[in-house]
Amino acid sequence: MTPAELKGLIRTIPDFPAAGIQFRDITTLIAHGEGLAATVDHLVERARKGRPDAIAGIEARGFIFGAAIAARLGLGFVPLRKAGKLPVQAIGIDYALEYGSARIELDPGAIERGERVLLVDDLLATGGTALAGARLLRQAGATVDHALFVIDLPDLGGGAALAAEGIEAESLIAFPGH
């Protein structure tokens, strides 16, 4: 399936989680076997180009795609978790969302200093979550210069925010407008 066909599998939920937000729901994409497989195929193709040593995914939907990419490439997967979910001494970072704030954490033992880590998530909006993930990985000693997303909302500026920190953002599907 092409990215244009995959775009047709993503539903839009208006006014969720707040008025004025057009939520791009991947539930319908991941429930479609052929669509999910094609999405992973496209992401793996793009991931290969960066020759990463590991894949990191942001909880929760970044786990779906990040773990699949890591398994296909024979690489380790590093989960960036919500606060309080790791059973070890973790490092963390607080960040702003389009409609609130959050914290993600990482087991610093999951990263080797200098390791090239590809950051993966389902959606790029303002870039706040992805920047927090990249900063956290860098704090742990990783090199992060590439991030993959299924969906980009380009009008919200996330790609530019990542580029300003030396991170190339790449996505399969764009939904212009807000």
User: Over 90: is that where the pLDDT of 18 sits?
Assistant: no
Average pLDDT over residues 66-86: 97
Q: Phi then psi for 88, rounded to 5 degrees?
A: -125, 170
In a domain, 8, yes or no: no
Query: Tell me: the pLDDT tens digits for 91-124?
Result: 999 998 766 789 999 999 999 999 999 999 999 9
In a domain, 31, yes or no: no
Q: What is the per-residue pLDDT for 21?
A: 84
In a domain, 146, yes or no: yes
Q: 77 near 118, Cβ under 8 Å?
A: no
In a domain, 34, yes or no: no
User: What are the CA-CA distances from residue 24 to residues 27, 66, 72, 176 (Å)?
Assistant: 9, 18, 26, 12
Of the pLDDT bands very low, low, confident and very high (cuts 50, 70, 90), residue 129 is very high
Does the CA dihedral 42-4-147-136 come out positive or negative? negative
CA distance 41 to 68: 9
Instruction: Give the count of domains, the chain.
Output: 1
Average pLDDT over residues 27-55: 98
In a domain, 118, yes or no: yes
Query: Tell me: the pLDDT tens digits for 134-145?
Result: 999 999 999 999
Residues annotated as catalytic (active site), given as ranges: 61, 98
Q: What is the per-residue pLDDT for 178?
A: 61
In a domain, 87, yes or no: yes
Q: What is the per-residue pLDDT for 97?
A: 72
Say how many C-beta atoms besides its own lie within 10 A of residue 85's C-beta: 11
Residue-range definition of the domain harbouring residue 58: 51-174
Q: What is the per-residue pLDDT for 74?
A: 98
In a domain, 164, yes or no: yes
User: Over 80: is that where the pLDDT of 160 sits?
Assistant: yes
In a domain, 23, yes or no: no
Average pLDDT over residues 8-24: 92
CATH of the domain at 135: 3.40.50.2020
